[in-house]
Chains A and B, each alone.
Chain A
Amino acid sequence: MDFQLLVDIFPQVFLDGIILGFMYALIALGYTMVYGVLEFINFAHSEIFIVGAFVGVELLLGLKSVGLLDGLPWPLVLVLALVAGMAASGLLAVTVERVAYRPLRHAPRLIPLISAIGISFFLQDLIRLFESLWRNAFNLVYPTIDVLNVRFELTQTLDVSVKSLVVIAAALLMLWALHVIVNRTKIGTAIRAVAEDQAAASLMGINVNRIISLTFLIGGAMGGAAGVLFGVQYGLINPYTGFIPGLKAFTAAVLGGIGNIPGAMVGGLVLGLLEAFAASYLSLLTGGAFGAEYKDIFAFSMLIVILIFRPKGLLGEIVRERA
């Protein structure tokens, strides 16, 4: 085993892990906010996330076809794509809640979960249907913006591309904004009140339904932003791409303590790092016997272990189980 190699790749793997971690963190917010308020796993969040990526790619391809992709300054293009993705995903999340979850709010716990699984599958094929009719293709590639692919060589073994920096900056900015909204504004107070006790919140004059819609809007928008960033960073998307990152992000949310917003970030980063290291080191350490393919098993096994031994997660408080 080449010890020097292990040391050399360390910084690059670490950076990749951080980027992946922020991606997971942004997606995890959608799961964790909804769980915090409704104690319900929004299984369709992975598709809400990938819809953001599709709206982003459609916008970029549209700009490209009218020749504006290189004409407009790239930060503006990126902001446009992010805003479009966030709006689409946020509205989709609100619609899904209104149509498929709200009628089931007082049903036994498994019923809305099954409905959410149904929505998840339905949306996957709906995206496929739409893109097949619209573009006659549903595996789409993000158009490249040259500036974003510039790489800086920091050291001999570590280089970082502009798009990675953009991903990290955007993720940090959004996490900070969410933190402010939830903790410093009146709306945030209302969200926390509804999460605490719906009946009491409604007695205090809070419109519970509206706050729940708002929670879905914010969580969905974060997912949509993550979708656009995912597309920019990794390039290739199809309607089924969202599922595994969604599941991992849920793992991240549970890892950090579900219902807990800083927890989602911590969980995302921990999971991203663990996965990046598993992907690059597992094969090296076992002499090729176990390859990077096992990183998925790694993530899921971790989910199982956490749920069994520390269900409240790293930062979480104990979430009351509803019957």
Chain B
Amino acid sequence: MSPYSVLALAAVALSSLAVATAPRSVLAFLAFQGALLFVYLARIPTWLRVGLLGVALLLLMPLIGAFNGYYLEVATQVGIFAALALGLNIVVGLAGLLDLGYVAFFAVGAYTWAIFGSPHANVIFGGGFPLAGAWFFAFLFVGLFVAAVAGILLGLPVLRLHGDYLAIVTLGFGEVIRVLANNLDKPINLTNGPKGITPISRPPAPLGLPYGEYFYFLVLLIVVLVVLVNRRLENSHIGRAWEAIREDELAARAMGVPLVRMKLLAFACGASFAGVMGVLFSAKQVFINPESFTFLESIGVLAMVILGGMGSIPGAVLGATVVTVLNLQVLKGLSLWLNELKNAGVTVLGYSLADLPTQFEPAKYERMIFGIILVLMMIFRPQGILPARRRQRELAHLER
């Protein structure tokens, strides 16, 4: 056994132990995530890598969830955003179409299930709703389909636009969807406006599994599927056509790449992942309203893709993990820590922390995090943390 294999085993074992002994410590959970990243990157045999990751995600993570349910929630959120980042990665990373309204497709999926999976549909269609929880699985496909259609509808008019104009139009599209969700409670009450829709049915959990664990496994399953689909796409003629379009539209066209079809396909593919996750998100949350689908979310997903590396599948997953954990744990952890210090009456350099203004809450600064990530990555490492191999070569070529 190579030293790396021993290290990887030890890292996973020790960090899980750390979480088990100190279930409230953010650092322990971060160490666990770091161990997983190490397992992914270290030079160890493939069977060991897959085995360790499998054990960690299928067995250890739910166990950790038993110690501290919040971590399971964090892991589920990471999964949801990983799928979104992978979807956006197709549009932005592979096809090079900067989509700033991506969360609109997530919203479309979420509202699709929210309307039919809650008593709200009775307002529109009379009686017979909500649909039973088992319909959820059918709606995963309905959400996929509806979001893909929305993607094509957005794609059709913007096909002629390039680069930054396209970005602004997709931003507008995202805002339009949000404003519609906010205001379509009249003349026909479709979305129930800002009040949102609740309660949304959940699929029945098998074997009496708690919902936290159940949704974690569902999300994990979908993320694995999405990763597999992405990998197949990347190396297919479709993926190569997308990358050709990204690099040089004119040349791609001259080589016989059907631009219209490929661009629409990129929008539809990216959107469909978001649609599926939207359906799952609405079932998991039981309640949705337009607040979950703002421009901020779109930029958050973009920051994940950029951080990991445009066009890179492991990058998108890593980016989703880092950004989500920063938001849900590090910023919130800072807020809690600061409050504890304030209550304990700690002074720093003669300044009592209790005198800090009450409006100063570190948890609220996610925009700043997104902003810093975007700017620093663009200036210092535009290829991302885990760059796609092809992309890496191109950027190296540019810097020369």
**Chain A positions near chain B (C-beta within 8 angstroms):** 40-41, 100, 103-104, 107-115, 117-126, 128-129, 132-133, 135-138, 243, 247, 250, 254, 288-291, 293-294, 296-297, 300-301, 303-304, 307-308, 311, 321, 323
Instruction: Name the B residues within 8 Å of A41 (CB-CB).
Output: 164, 167-168
Given A290-B187, A293-B183, list of 5 further CB < 8 A pairs? A118-B303, A121-B367, A129-B360, A290-B183, A321-B163
Residue B370 contacts which of A108, A121, A243 (CB distance < 8 angstroms)? Answer: A121
Residues from chain B with a CB closer than 8 A to the CB of A247 are 168, 171-172, 175
Given contact pairs A119-B371, A121-B368, A296-B179, A104 touches B172 in the complex (Cβ within 8 A): no
CA distance A128 to B366 in the complex (A): 12
**Beta-carbon contact of A124 and B378 below 8 Å:** no
* Total contacts A-B at CB 8 Å: 144
Given contacts A113-B98, A133-B360, A294 and B183 within 8 Å (CB-CB): yes
* Residues of chain B in range 5-47 having any CB-CB distance to chain A below 8 Å: none
Dominant secondary structure of chain A at its interface with chain B: helix
Contacts of A40 in B (CB 8 A): 164
Contact of A297 among B165, B179, B357, B375 (CB under 8 A): B179
CA of A113 to CA of B97, assembled, Å: 13
Give the interface segment out of B51-59, B82-90, B153-161, B221-229.
B153-161
Question: 10 closest Cβ contacts across the A-B interface?
Answer: A118-B374, A122-B371, A121-B371, A300-B172, A125-B368, A136-B357, A118-B375, A289-B187, A132-B359, A115-B378
List residues 158-205 of chain B with CB under 8 A from any CB of chain A. 158, 160-165, 167-169, 171-173, 175-176, 179-180, 182-183, 186-187
User: In the bound complex, do residue A110 and residue B96 qualify as a contact, i.e. CB atoms below 8 Å apart?
Assistant: yes
Q: In the assembled complex, how far is the CB of residue A301 from the closest CB belonging to chain B, in whole angstroms?
A: 7
Closest A residue to B394 by beta carbon equals A108
Do A118 and B173 contact each other (CB < 8 Å), given the known contacts A109-B163, A112-B378?
Answer: no
Partner of A136, one of B182, B358, B365: B358
Selected from A108, A118, A132, the residue in CB contact (under 8 A) with B371 is A118
Q: Within 8 Å of chain A (Cβ to Cβ): is B115?
A: no
Query: With A115-B378, A294-B183 as given contacts, are A125 and B169 in contact (CB-CB < 8 Å)?
Result: no
| Option from B357, B371, B373, B382 in Cβ contact (under 8 Å) with A123 | B371
Cβ-defined partner of B359 (8 Å) among A120, A136, A303, A311: A136
Interface pair A308/B176, CB less than 8 Å apart: no
Closest to A35 in B: B164
Q: Which residue of B lies closest to A322 (CB)?
A: B163
For residue B379, CB closer than 8 A to chain A, the reply is: yes
| A122 CB contact (under 8 Å) in B164, B171, B367 | B367
Q: Which residue of B lies closest to A107 (CB)?
A: B382
Min distance, Cβ B238 to any Cβ of chain A, angstroms: 21
Cβ–Cβ contact B371 & A125, under 8 A: yes
For the complex, give the distance between the alpha carbons of A40 and B167 in Å: 12
> Is there contact, CB below 8 Å, between A119 and B375?
yes
B370–A118 CB distance below 8 A: yes
**Chain B: minimal CB distance from A101 (Å):** 10
Given the interface contacts A113-B98, A118-B374, A300-B176, does A311 sit within 8 Å of B367 by beta carbon?
no
Mask of B340-359 contacts with A, CB within 8 angstroms, 1/0: 00000000000000001111
Closest to A134 in B: B357
Flag if B378 contacts A114 (CB, 8 Å): yes
B372 interface residue per 8 A CB criterion = yes
| A114 and B164 within 8 A (CB) | no
> In the complex, what distance in Å separates the CA atom of A279 from the CA atom of B104?
24
Please name all residues of chain B whose beta carbon is closer than 8 Å to the beta carbon of A307 when the two chains form the complex: 161, 165, 168-169
Which residues of chain B have C-beta atoms less than 8 A from A321's C-beta?
162-163
Given the known interface contacts A104-B379, A118-B375, the answer about A297 and B162 at a Cβ–Cβ threshold of 8 Å is no
B146: chain A residues at CB < 8 Å are none
With A122-B367, A323-B248 known as contacts, the answer to whether A132 contacts B175 (CB < 8 A) is: no
The contact of A293 among B179, B359, B373, B374, by CB within 8 Å, is B179
CA A114 to CA B356, docked complex, whole Å: 34
- Whether B172 lies near A303 (C-beta < 8 A) is yes
Q: List 19 A-B contacts (CB under 8 A).
A: A114-B374, A118-B371, A121-B367, A125-B364, A125-B365, A129-B360, A133-B360, A135-B357, A137-B359, A247-B171, A293-B182, A297-B179, A300-B172, A300-B176, A301-B176, A308-B157, A308-B160, A321-B162, A321-B163
Partner of A120, one of B306, B371, B398: B371
Chain B residues positioned under 8 Å from A121 (CB to CB): 299, 367-368, 370-371, 374
Whether B368 lies near A122 (C-beta < 8 A) is yes
Residues in B whose Cβ lies below 8 Å from that of A100:
375, 378-379
Instruction: Flag if B167 contacts A113 (CB, 8 Å).
Output: yes
Is A303's CB under 8 angstroms from B168's CB? yes
B302 within 8 A of A: yes
Q: Which residues of B contact A126 (CB under 8 A)?
A: 368
Chain A nearest CB, measured from B85 CB (Å): 15
Are A291's CB and B168's CB within 8 A?
A: no
Which residues of A lie under 8 Å from residue B160 when comparing CB positions? 308
Residue B271 at the chain A interface, CB threshold 8 Å: no
**Nearest CB in chain A: distance from B297 CB, A:** 12
Q: Mark B82-123, 1 if CB is under 8 A from A, else 0.
A: 000000000000001010100000000000000000000000
Determine how close the nearest CB of chain A comes to the CB of B354; give it in whole angstroms. Answer: 13
A296 proximity list for chain B (CB < 8 A):
175-176, 179
Of A103, A110, A293, A311, the residue contacting B98 (CB under 8 A) is A110
Residues of chain A within 8 A (CB-CB) of B96 are: 110
Query: Which residue, of B96, B172, B187, has the highest number of chain A Cβ atoms within 10 A?
Result: B172
Closest residue on chain B to residue A100 by CB atoms: B375
Residue numbers in B under 8 Å from A304 (CB-CB): 157-158, 169, 172-173
Q: What is the bound-complex CA distance between A126 and B171, given in angstroms?
A: 23
In the complex, the chain A residue whose C-beta lies closest to that of B182 is A293
Closest to B169 in A: A304
Chain B residues in 8 Å Cβ range of A136: 357-360
Q: Is the CB of B187 within 8 A of A110?
A: no
How far, in Å, is B70 (CB) from chain A's closest CB? 25
Contact A117 to B176, CB < 8 A, known contacts A125-B365, A137-B359: no
